[in-house]
């Protein structure tokens, strides 16, 4: 069993090498060499041992992601495609239900086919109590569509002054949800600083809102890095703002218009370049 686990774990690392290197080097054209090991060679996706090893379901999920990427000829795919593959390829009912729950819990926000995704999920998972958290996320995502007024937040600056969404009224608002311990969050900071300079004097504010963090760590980084602009924090992991926006992970970016209405509840990252600037320009009417 341990040999099986190690074989699978090694395959997962191999499968992640190319996309991770592309992300860390900002080189989307990087390809592994022809002699690079093939991930999951000789592993049966329906092997029952996946149910008995730690993180077995996650290993199968990675496996399916590799198959989808190879099928599409790229690293990305819609989560709905993944859910369809789970439904089609996984024969063990226990494993299928577990994978469907994980896919919906983590990726419901990121599908472009929300209705189709949820309907298929609802068919695949029979236990109503297990489905309830996903149902709540589904309803929150639907309520956070473009044009809907954004829910309010409460946050504090380094001096303890309290701020709310209304304090940013009159200008578009790009919100960066981050934390000091989050590597990908910190990697976006230079791109965010570049955006601030690019749109200086324009009808948009850039708010860095630290969440899931410790106040002393945040204060230390703000002072050491001399981070300027709107730097706020809220240490309440259960604050309604995060739940309404279905924030399951960071970094996460949100774009609001001048009236505080949602433009994109899951906006492009600062490092996305023209994908984000085009959206901002359209929002502020440039």
Residue 251: cis peptide before it, omega within 30 degrees of 0: yes
Identify the DSSP state of 149. B
pLDDT of residue 286: 61
Note if 274 is an active site residue.
no
Annotated active-site residue in 95, 182, 267, 280: 182
Note if 182 is an active site residue.
yes
pLDDT of residue 63: 84
- Domain that includes residue 210, residue range: 154-284
Domain edge (last residue) among 112, 143, 174? 143
Asked if 209 contacts 167 with a C-beta cutoff of 8 angstroms, the reply is no
Asked if 9 contacts 28 with a C-beta cutoff of 8 angstroms, the reply is no
Is residue 148 assigned to a domain? no
Annotated active-site residue in 185, 254, 267, 280: 185
Helix, strand, coil percentages in the chain from 3-state DSSP, rounded to 5: 50, 10, 35
Q: Which two tokens stand for residue 158?
A: 């380094």
Number of domains in the chain: 2
pLDDT of residue 77: 85
Domain of residue 169, CATH code: 3.40.30.10
pLDDT by position in tens, the chain (length 286): 999 999 998 998 998 898 899 889 989 889 999 999 988 888 888 888 998 998 888 889 888 887 887 777 665 789 999 999 999 999 988 899 999 999 999 899 889 899 999 999 999 999 999 999 999 999 999 989 899 999 999 999 999 999 999 999 999 999 999 999 999 999 999 999 999 999 999 999 999 999 999 999 999 999 998 998 999 999 998 999 999 999 988 999 999 999 999 999 999 999 999 999 999 999 998 6
Is residue 149 assigned to a domain? no
Is residue 33 assigned to a domain? yes
User: By C-alpha distance, which of 110, 1, 119, 106 is closest to 51?
Assistant: 1
d(CA 42, CA 7): 10
């Amino acid at each position: 069993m341990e040999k099986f686990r190690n074989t699978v774990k090694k395959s997962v690392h191999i499968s992640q090498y190319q996309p991770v290197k592309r992300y860390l080097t900002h080189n989307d054209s990087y390809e592994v060499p022809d002699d690079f090991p093939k991930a999951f060679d000789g592993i049966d996706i329906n092997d029952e041992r996946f149910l008995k090893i730690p993180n077995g379901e996650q290993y199968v999920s990675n496996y399916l992601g590799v198959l989808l990427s190879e099928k599409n000829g790229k690293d990305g795919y819609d989560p709905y495609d993944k859910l369809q593959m789970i439904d089609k390829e996984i024969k063990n009912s226990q494993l299928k239900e577990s994978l469907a729950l994980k896919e919906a819990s983590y990726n419901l926000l990121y599908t472009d086919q929300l209705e189709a995704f949820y309907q298929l999920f609802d068919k695949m998972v029979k236990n109503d109590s297990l489905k309830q958290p996903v149902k709540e996320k589904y309803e929150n995502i639907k309520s956070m569509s473009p044009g809907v007024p954004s829910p309010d937040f409460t946050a504090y600056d380094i001096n303890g002054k309290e701020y709310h969404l209304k304090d940013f009224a009159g200008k578009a608002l790009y919100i960066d949800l981050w934390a000091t311990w989050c590597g990908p969050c910190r990697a976006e900071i230079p791109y965010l600083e570049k955006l601030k300079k690019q749109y200086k004097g324009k009808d948009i504010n850039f708010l860095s809102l630290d969440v899931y963090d410790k106040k002393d760590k945040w204060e230390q980084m703000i002072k050491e890095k001399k981070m300027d602009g709107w730097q706020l924090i809220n240490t309440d992991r259960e604050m309604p703002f995060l739940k309404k926006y279905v924030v399951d992970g960071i970094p996460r970016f949100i774009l609001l218009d001048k009236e505080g209405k949602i433009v994109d509840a899951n906006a492009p990252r600062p490092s996305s370049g023209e994908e984000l600037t085009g959206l901002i320009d359209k929002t502020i009417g440039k």
